[in-house]
Amino acid sequence: MARDTFDKQLGDLKAQVMEMADLAKWMFETGVQSLIDLSDDTADEVLEKRHRLAELDEQIEEDALKLVARQQPMAKDMRAIGAALKLITYINRIGRYGKDIAQITTQWDSETHYSDLVNLPRMVELVHNGLNHVLRCYHEEEDIDLEQLVEWEDEIDALRWSVFRECLTYMAQDPEHIEEYAYYMMIARYLERCGDNVCKMAEKIHYMVEGEHLAIDT
């Protein structure tokens, strides 16, 4: 019976992490959509969720530490709890980057975008792919597809610098809209950091599943 109770508590912990991940993913995707649409109303919806994200972060940490103190888990059980504690840090960051993008939407003075958002849509797609992959692996307790993940991460890094160079060129050609291009550069940096946090999540999931450490070059 004690093992059944502990298994249920581990399952509840995972469900909390997935709830937080779903919220962070929503904040990321909706923050990006608010920028695409230049919708302050959509941006405000994202900004309002930051408090719930923080609440989940604190609650999961508290519950995980209680599990360690009360159950003194070993081996894979301990790795699962450790993974949860690590994952919520990276999940929180991704949600907050969504909030930061929404904040840029509220500060956008122009009524339009420029240069088809440079390469930002492709970066968003890659982050979305990576995040979905690692969350599925965590939920199913499967190992990550390292080769695919590294391929996505390398493309995100390359696109970040492509956006940077392209925006510098546009700033020189169109100085009236320097602020907007500077925002694009900031967002590219946020998206690159989201990709890095996805990789950190992958490292912890790999350790949880396989019991061996992994370092992904970001």
- Per-residue pLDDT for the chain (218 aa), expressed as one digit of tens each? 467 788 899 999 999 999 999 999 999 999 999 999 999 999 999 999 999 999 999 999 999 999 999 888 888 999 999 999 999 999 999 999 999 999 999 999 888 998 888 899 999 999 999 999 999 999 999 999 999 999 999 999 999 999 999 999 999 999 999 999 999 999 999 999 999 999 999 999 999 999 999 999 87
Domain range for 99 is: 2-210
Domain membership flag for residue 136:
yes
Domain membership flag for residue 92:
yes
Domain membership flag for residue 217:
no
Count how many domains the chain has: 1
Domain membership flag for residue 82:
yes
Domain membership flag for residue 27:
yes
CA separation, residue 61 to residues 35, 81, 93, 155, 177 (Å): 32, 10, 15, 33, 44
Q: What is the DSSP letter of 176?
A: G
Domain membership flag for residue 218:
no
Query: What's the CATH code of the domain at 101?
Result: 1.20.58.220
Is the separation of the CB atoms in 170 and 119 below 8 Å?
no
